[in-house]
Amino acid sequence: MRFDYLIVDVFSDTPFGGNQLAVLTDARGLSDEGMQAIAREFNFAESTFVLPPDDPAHAARVRIFTPARELPFAGHPTVGTACALVMSGARSPGEFVLEEGVGPVAVTTRQEGDRHSARLRLERGPDQPNSMPSPADLAAVLSLPEDAVVDAFGASVGVPFTFVQLADRDAVDCSKLDNGAWSRVLENSWSPQVYLFAGELKDGGEIYARMFAPSFGIAEDPATGAAAAAIVGAAAQKAKRSLSFHIRQGVAMGRPSLLNVSAAVEQAEVRSIEVGGGCAFVARGEIEVPERFLHAAGTSERSPHD
């Protein structure tokens, strides 16, 4: 059976930047194993699979897969899927809700000519761990001297990250994941994903970031929306005030990404988090899926392409 897909580049206004995403715009009939196999085949950081919503008031249910596993939430797949639904004509620009593993996620999409963008909104603050690895251990994970590490903290809005603030952009660019140290320090920790950045987490500022997620089958991610949501939420929670700033990621990879993030604080608590950016159309096509990856109960729900 053939399934339609779109490829988009997320958190970029032009093709061949940002984070690649494959979106199967009608995934009815695919088994869990089929979705995972397709995600491995595309081998992007994530691929998404659009299904009918459980609540008819919502636009769609979206499942998100890395090459190694399914995720309950991720930022660039949410933003990219929302834009892909508009590009495919399934939705009009505006606000709608996507159902994900973490629950309903509100998105607002915009279209100006051929330019698309979207912004997701979470009505929650971040979760944070009770303890963190030492600066010396985290420096070893990143193949850096200990004095390169300025601060470290953990945060999650569905996917947990270890955030490591480094002294400057050069330290970020020079970092290299030491797999042995990562296995010892982070693999079985609260957050195996490590997000390193330079710059101040302040209102109106900008940080420069990279992200490594070997447990997800992602050597390095060019744009990480879930981490962006978690870091702005954690920063706002610490400052006890609303914050908005920009994140540049994927620069050294040759896939520059720009993420715009904000967190709203009321009565010293984070009430909502938003992450947004551009989305560029790259390609559309069909993928032939072997019968063993189809769910027999769902194949009659859609018309296959011959």
* C-alpha 46, offset from chain centre: 8
Q: 15-49 in b/e burial notation, b at 16+ Cβ within 10 A?
A: eebbbbbbbbbbbbbbbeebbbbbbeebebbbbbb
Q: 233-250 in b/e burial notation, b at 16+ Cβ within 10 A?
A: bbbbbeeeebbbbbbbbb
Query: Tokens in use for 102?
Result: 């973490």
Give the whole-angstrom CA distance, residue 49 versus residue 69. Answer: 13
Q: What is the largest CA-CA distance in the chain?
A: 60
Q: How many Cβ atoms are within 10 Å of 219's Cβ, its own excluded? A: 11
Is the sign of the CA dihedral 263, 264, 266, 270 positive or negative? negative
- The answer to whether 193 and 216 are in contact (CB under 8 A) is yes
* Known active-site residue 46: yes
Catalytic residue among 41, 46, 220, 288: 46
Residues annotated as catalytic are: 46
